[in-house]
């Protein structure tokens, strides 16, 4: 009899989310199947995911023809296509949302990545997306850039649930939690019911190993080689230690007393990039209650097929994780620069995907207009 690993993961307190969305997944029943068979209780999207979805097949053609007939431009068409997918997915997950009292059943949609350095326009875009989708079980994704931090606070202050994305360093994560606390404090002052506001903090995992391993191989010493594949999981465990610390403060207890929900850590970028590593390592090595793991379908398949869970693999590992980073620094890794490069590249990758999406939809509109 096969073991239901993803069921075990859910029972361990890790919410299983799919890191993908497309019109085909919704229409064919694929997403419903993942909910039924793989315990998927949420979905995340990003500009790359939408760029991929809209460049393949014919699922969007009918809506594009309708929009073209109405004279919609490229930007308006993209807004209509993406928010339609997110709205329909949110409706699919509505029962999960109700059953979990709003904790799961969430679908994320990201602000235009070109606004990552513009606080005011990010807030305006977040508010517009929230109103356009018009579903309580969505997250507006805002990147954790320096300019994104005040946007996170301002968006939460309006009673809007936020998925903070592109977090790489524990230092920035601490700033994200501070922005979250400030947003809830302002939301309370603005008269919002804190219990209706939710947030997750998306801590990117695999990209850390990719960047650090590249540098370790360039250094080439035995000490450096011994640290290959150690950084990403250690970084996530340090993030969880920071979460435990800051959500045990009087500031948080005061908010919790007003009905606030904690901002759950979310492990993102969990698809393994290096074939030398086990393809489930960013799942089975990051098991801890009260977190989310958002996976591409390939990783979901791998976990369901052969992951072995050994209980909590995160709690109480902070000192061990810090020792790994001390060794990385001693080996010659400029850790702050790693995180700076990853954040810059993360924003650039999403901007590039958005440009590709613009080009794809522009071509489709032109074709639809004949």
* Angstrom distance (rounded) from CA 317 to CA 136: 36
Question: Which residues contact residue 154 at a Cβ distance below 8 angstroms, ignoring those fewer than 6 apart?
Answer: 119, 123, 183, 186
Per DSSP, which regions of the chain are E strands?
Answer: 14-18, 40-43, 106-110, 138-143, 162-167, 199-204, 264-268, 291-295
Task: Specify whether the CB–CB gap between 55 and 360 falls below 8 A.
Answer: yes
Task: Please tell me whether residue 7 adopts helix, strand or coil conformation.
Answer: helix
Cα–Cα distance for residue pair 339/259, rounded to 1 Å: 34
Based on the number of CB atoms within 10 Å of its own CB, is 9 exposed (0-12), middle (13-18) or buried (19 or more)?
buried
Residue 81's nearest CA partner among 43, 9, 132, 5 is 132
Length of the chain: 370
Q: What number of other Cβ atoms are within 10 A of residue 347's Cβ?
A: 18
CA-to-CA distance for 140 and 124, rounded, in angstroms? 12
Torsion of CA 159, 289, 234, 323, to 10 degrees: 110
The catalytic residues are 141
| Locus of tokens 């993102």 | 268
Could you tell me if 59 and 85 are in contact, meaning their C-beta atoms sit under 8 angstroms apart?
no
Residue 220 DSSP one-character state: -
Q: Are 315 and 288 in contact (CB under 8 A)?
A: yes
- For the record, the structure tokens of 92 come out as 């699919």
Q: Which two tokens stand for residue 2?
A: 């096969």
> Which of 268, 64, 79 is CA-nearest to residue 173?
268
């Amino acid at each position: 009899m096969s073991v239901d690993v993803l069921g075990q993961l859910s029972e361990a307190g890790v919410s299983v989310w799919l890191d993908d969305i497309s019109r085909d997944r919704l229409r064919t029943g694929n997403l419903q199947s993942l909910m039924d068979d793989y315990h998927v209780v949420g979905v995340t999207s990003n500009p790359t995911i939408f760029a991929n979805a809209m460049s393949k097949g014919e699922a969007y053609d009918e809506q594009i023809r309708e929009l073209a007939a109405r004279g919609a431009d490229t930007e308006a068409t993209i807004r209509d296509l993406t928010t339609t997918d997110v709205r329909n997915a949110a409706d699919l997950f509505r029962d999960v949302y109700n059953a979990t009292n709003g904790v799961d059943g969430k679908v994320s949609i990201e602000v235009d990545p070109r606004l990552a350095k513009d606080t005011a326009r990010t807030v305006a875009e977040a508010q517009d997306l929230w109103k356009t989708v018009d579903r309580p079980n969505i997250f507006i994704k805002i990147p954790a850039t320096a300019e994104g931090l005040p946007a996170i606070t301002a968006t939460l202050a309006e009673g809007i649930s936020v998925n903070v994305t592109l977090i790489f360093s524990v230092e920035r994560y601490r700033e994200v939690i501070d922005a979250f606390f400030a947003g809830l404090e302002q939301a309370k002052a603005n008269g919002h019911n804190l219990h209706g506001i939710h947030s997750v903090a998306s801590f990117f995992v695999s990209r850390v190993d990719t960047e650090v391993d590249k540098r370790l191989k360039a250094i080439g010493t035995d000490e450096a080689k011994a640290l290959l594949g150690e950084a990403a999981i250690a970084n996530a465990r340090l993030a969880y230690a920071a979460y435990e610390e800051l959500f045990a403060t009087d500031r948080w207890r005061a908010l919790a007393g007003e009905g606030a929900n904690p901002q759950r850590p979310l492990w993102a970028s969990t698809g393994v990039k290096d074939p030398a590593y086990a393809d489930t390592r960013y799942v089975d090595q990051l098991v801890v209650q009260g977190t989310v793991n958002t996976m591409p379908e390939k990783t979901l398949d791998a976990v369901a097929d052969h992951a072995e869970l050994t209980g909590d693999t995160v709690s109480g590992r902070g000192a061990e994780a810090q020792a790994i980073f001390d060794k990385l620094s001693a080996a010659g890794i400029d850790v702050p620069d790693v995180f700076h490069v990853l954040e810059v590249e993360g924003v650039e990758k999403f901007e590039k995907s958005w440009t590709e999406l613009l080009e794809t939809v522009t071509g489709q509109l032109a074709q639809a207009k004949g």
